[in-house]
Structure 1
């Protein structure tokens, strides 16, 4: 990871590619924090919260002060990406803790930070665990119809937090009852019986002696893919001080008059949920880091493992074209995710410098979900990144035989993390539906002469193809929509949803394709550019093979084009092969962070070193 063997110019550019603006001294501190105390079982449900708080404290010490948490998106991305490689469960706990819980306070406190300062520092320093309670388990799309209530009491100025019925119970990782937990809870505010929209509240769930009065939690809910302390949470008229209301510009005057700059309930929800942008912006970096590590381990296995097949006994797995396409293709997809991580950070950084949209401002119209209206590109980045990472890590696991399924090699944990995040953090499929719906309503450009794309072995081929496919699919859906009855929206959209979701996914893949080209254009070191160009082109070919059905159905590619893709993939694998030492060294995390035997120079010996042996018949 330190890339000490590389020339300085190559090393510096690779550092920027992988870590953005992070200072090397910060990465050294992060490395030490994770290496000092990490393990694949340390933060699992049932282990108690003390160890988890200790690990959150170590991570928090590498971050800025609580009120400046969001000042350095590259640092936030690196902390959570490295945590995911070390232990996906720790990463999930940290994402909720830092970005959703503490991030809500930072962005929505509205000048009340001095009242919440002690809580913020307790979270940052690992004296309390942060929780985010938004989903209500009893109904679909609960984000659009939050039923947990926060009734304002004019006599005291407090809010009374209450779960009105069992279906409104919140789902979240709040079962660590042996340590202090502070939650950000989304609830619908009522003043004088009038619904004022959904806001966030800071609520202590537990203290040193367990659950606080009025807070009720269920028995644990097992979730093997993301093993944390999941429970359902209900509130029974819990009193929350006025300062615990993350009002985000809203307020209640002394005479009870309510005012909110959002101007409507829909825009209020968008403003409250904008804290999700941080999670969406960081997820591509997490996906890139775990996918890079998975790909390195798969390449390592394929280089070392010798087959006894009749075709060529004794040759390494990597000699087979099928294995080359899979594991070198995984490296290529990991590179594309790394480029997308930079693109997502840029979008988020720009959004942080722009005030939240006021009434009548630039907030998007809400459709099937709130996510695309909060930020179309960041929601798309999240959805595309976790879906691709789940596919690639699953394939890497499969290509490593039984070793790929061993817990100690973490490929199952990486896959489970991203597979579960397809629904968590904003359901990816709903995000794609919503983006596709918006694009369909906006309509595509008028058909015209389309220039011929470059050869398929060029890094520029896939961006041109995916852009053309997006335009064709948009026009096709827009024409179908115009032929329906606008007075019956469900009947109009229902038969289109499958292709609408595909359009949303194509939009997200186009973002990633453009990020790859921008990254390549920014590389100045000749040797690094020589290594990355065929890798970028190979990602495009792998993506086209995944999308071949849709590409053929809409005439974006012809059968002859698709038939030739395996041949092009083989040419690109040959071009990538001479650069494997550089790529593997650059993409691998340090051995004391990624402790998997599959990452070792001799993975078979490394696996045996983790075992103890028992021999029968000895005294």
Structure 2
């Protein structure tokens, strides 16, 4: 029974008490459909309060990562804006407070206000006028020695914070602000600061907040925020072991590069949580599409009783999306494992693009690849539902929008790939392994060797950032190298799933093995030109690959019912009308009686 349950978890998320408790919340009024953008925002925060109350609050969730990650996946399936509100409150805001903050009355009161549900949390890091602002923000936090306070200030319009979810009037909020610490006129590194933003009935006059307008891909009350000599107490500084003595002397055991990475340690949980959410959203999209196809008759190529699901073209599309979805789920499981391990490792002295890669390269790559897989899965399915796939109420546009947004949010994908590619140059090893995974490792090795030669060994160092003139011509190659490493992580996860299935003689075990075969033919098809050019695949095998790939799609298509069932996404969780056989009645609200045709 344990082996069977483990295998079910490979394919999807096994039902547990956390999901049952959260599903019970769906009967509450706040989970009914919204009536407009502002109502949607209000409902999102009301839903967030219920979720956090049910699970013990943000502080409790930070001490219980498995429950937090499960909640992230659930929220993404119910309504993606709820996922981002949970992420900003429990991880991006509360996480640094608990991890990096020093005990103080101010911080404890603020944590209590968030835990009680009085405030939601936001993160203010991205700045309006320049890229990679998380590395060197223009927002200042000046230390005032006499008062022992800090003054947050926005010195230029380019340094206005953007995309913090704090625009909704009447909704009390808090935020973690990333700013350049200035002590005695000297910059001391990038640190987070915990602040109150809005109160229910007013906003401090030294905080200027404006809505950015609609963000249709992932709706929430995003804003721009400008600080005008905004004073905060010493306890707001999330110092992470640094300190300023009362005589004004500054102490930090970390250099600025290591401090930047430490200040962004919440990125580890953000990456794991987002990977979980992406896989969950893809599972929901596959489930909705499968049920819609199964009960939807078609008038094309007339055949008595035929449904959309009977068409091989539709079956192949769903099979390919199920492959992407299961692979994303495997990456989410791997992310859980990595997140649970100690990760206070040595970090490079300087970061070029993405501090979260320095915090944990593989976790960042897993998130980047899960994003690609989830977007591909949903984007492939949405047009298969025709015009109905574009209706917001059927949820696929929400899942696709979430995947598109987190290409830049929660750790920019291109920055991750560039930083990971640069990091991969620092060491080299001869590839091992056989089969498709062995070929993928050989491809990574060959790509690394080519980039190392192009960049030059003397220019490769983990102790200093990449020089623009040296690296700029080779940035596409860095991205390709990082993608190759992600391929290896992905195929290794698939291989582990196959090994878990071999002792079992069940329908699900056979289905997982069929998915693994499709993963192999998909990889080989995608990189066939490279593999042939470098003699990693014989021409005889290449010639039959198209036939093998079609066969693999057909095999997964034959297992679709058991695979979709393993995803365990109840219809009430997605609330997509197209999931149900009485779709027309649910969508329109009209009840039709059977009538005889006119003669």
> Displacement of 1:291 after TM fit?
0.7
Would you say 1:211 and 2:203 are equivalent positions?
yes
Alignment correspondent of 1:200:
192
Alignment correspondent of 1:606:
583
Alignment correspondent of 1:568:
548
Would you say 1:526 and 2:505 are equivalent positions?
yes
> Displacement of 1:427 after TM fit?
1.1
Judged with a 3 Å threshold, the aligned counterparts in structure 2 of structure 1 residues 607 and 552 are, in CA distance, closer, same or farther, namely: farther
Alignment correspondent of 1:184:
176
Q: How far apart in 2 are the matches of 1:554 and 1:232?
A: 51
Q: Check the 8 A contact 1:49/1:178 in 2, yes or no.
A: no
Would you say 1:142 and 2:133 are equivalent positions?
yes
Q: Check the 8 A contact 1:179/1:210 in 2, yes or no.
A: no
Q: Check the 8 A contact 1:481/1:492 in 2, yes or no.
A: yes
Structure 2 counterpart of 1:595, from 550, 562, 575: 575
Alignment correspondent of 2:112:
121
Q: Check the 8 A contact 2:30/2:46 in 1, yes or no.
A: no
User: How large is the RMSD of aligned CA atoms in angstroms?
Assistant: 2.9
> Displacement of 1:376 after TM fit?
0.6
Structure 2 counterpart of 1:271, from 244, 262, 269: 262
Alignment correspondent of 2:8:
14
Q: Check the 8 A contact 1:218/1:231 in 2, yes or no.
A: yes
Q: How far apart in 1 are the matches of 2:459 and 2:369?
A: 32
Judged with a 3 Å threshold, the aligned counterparts in structure 2 of structure 1 residues 29 and 269 are, in CA distance, closer, same or farther, namely: same
Q: Check the 8 A contact 2:19/2:74 in 1, yes or no.
A: no
SS in 2 for 1:218: strand
Q: How far apart in 2 are the matches of 1:44 and 1:215?
A: 27
Structure 1: stretches of 5+ with no match in the other structure = 1-6, 454-460
SS in 1 for 2:180: strand
Alignment correspondent of 2:358:
373
Judged with a 3 Å threshold, the aligned counterparts in structure 2 of structure 1 residues 319 and 196 are, in CA distance, closer, same or farther, namely: same
Alignment correspondent of 1:505:
483
Q: Check the 8 A contact 2:10/2:330 in 1, yes or no.
A: no
CA-to-partner distance for each residue in 1:533-557, whole Å, 9 max, x for gaps?
Answer: 1122223333444445555565545
> Displacement of 1:155 after TM fit?
0.9
> Displacement of 1:225 after TM fit?
0.6
Q: How far apart in 2 are the matches of 1:557 and 1:196?
A: 53
Q: How far apart in 2 are the matches of 1:62 and 1:505?
A: 39
Q: Check the 8 A contact 1:339/1:515 in 2, yes or no.
A: yes
Alignment correspondent of 1:466:
440
CA-to-partner distance for each residue in 1:447-485, whole Å, 9 max, x for gaps?
Answer: 8xx7762xxxxxxx3x23322221121122222223998
Judged with a 3 Å threshold, the aligned counterparts in structure 2 of structure 1 residues 9 and 189 are, in CA distance, closer, same or farther, namely: closer
Alignment correspondent of 1:249:
241
Q: How far apart in 2 are the matches of 1:140 and 1:338?
A: 31
Alignment correspondent of 1:400:
385
Q: How far apart in 2 are the matches of 1:224 and 1:40?
A: 19
Q: Check the 8 A contact 1:133/1:184 in 2, yes or no.
A: yes
Q: Check the 8 A contact 1:38/1:86 in 2, yes or no.
A: no
Q: Check the 8 A contact 1:149/1:164 in 2, yes or no.
A: yes
Of 195-204 and 173-182, more deviation after overlay is shown by 173-182
- TM-score of the two chains, using structure 2 as the length reference: 0.90
Alignment correspondent of 2:67:
75
Structure 1 counterpart of 2:16, from 24, 42, 48: 24
Q: How far apart in 1 are the matches of 2:7 and 2:292?
A: 28
SS in 2 for 1:55: helix
Alignment correspondent of 1:539:
519
Once the two structures are superposed, the pairs formed by residues 124-523 of structure 1 within 5 Å of their partners are 124-171=115-162, 172-262=164-254, 264-310=255-301, 315-351=306-342, 354=343, 356=344, 361-363=346-348, 365-442=350-427, 444-446=428-430, 453=435, 461=436, 463-482=437-456, 489-523=467-501
Of 225-234 and 318-327, more deviation after overlay is shown by 318-327
Of 427-436 and 591-600, more deviation after overlay is shown by 591-600
Q: Check the 8 A contact 1:34/1:58 in 2, yes or no.
A: no
Of 279-288 and 522-531, more deviation after overlay is shown by 522-531
Q: How far apart in 2 are the matches of 1:49 and 1:409?
A: 19
Of 431-440 and 418-427, more deviation after overlay is shown by 431-440
Q: Check the 8 A contact 2:275/2:328 in 1, yes or no.
A: yes
> Displacement of 1:28 after TM fit?
1.3
Q: Check the 8 A contact 1:35/1:592 in 2, yes or no.
A: no
- TM-score of the two chains, using structure 1 as the length reference: 0.87
Judged with a 3 Å threshold, the aligned counterparts in structure 2 of structure 1 residues 607 and 566 are, in CA distance, closer, same or farther, namely: farther
Q: How far apart in 1 are the matches of 2:447 and 2:331?
A: 23
Would you say 1:581 and 2:547 are equivalent positions?
no
SS in 2 for 1:143: coil
Judged with a 3 Å threshold, the aligned counterparts in structure 2 of structure 1 residues 254 and 221 are, in CA distance, closer, same or farther, namely: same
Q: How far apart in 1 are the matches of 2:84 and 2:483?
A: 24
Q: Check the 8 A contact 2:10/2:329 in 1, yes or no.
A: no
> Displacement of 1:272 after TM fit?
0.3
Judged with a 3 Å threshold, the aligned counterparts in structure 2 of structure 1 residues 554 and 503 are, in CA distance, closer, same or farther, namely: farther
SS in 2 for 1:592: helix
Q: Check the 8 A contact 1:363/1:373 in 2, yes or no.
A: yes
Q: Check the 8 A contact 1:473/1:554 in 2, yes or no.
A: no
CA-to-partner distance for each residue in 1:411-456, whole Å, 9 max, x for gaps?
Answer: 11100110111011121012111211221343x3358xx7762xxx
Q: How far apart in 2 are the matches of 1:201 and 1:493?
A: 34
Q: How far apart in 2 are the matches of 1:11 and 1:283?
A: 24
Q: Check the 8 A contact 1:364/1:374 in 2, yes or no.
A: no
Q: Check the 8 A contact 1:169/1:234 in 2, yes or no.
A: yes
Q: How far apart in 2 are the matches of 1:506 and 1:170?
A: 34
SS in 1 for 2:190: strand
> What is the number of residues matched between the two proteins?
585
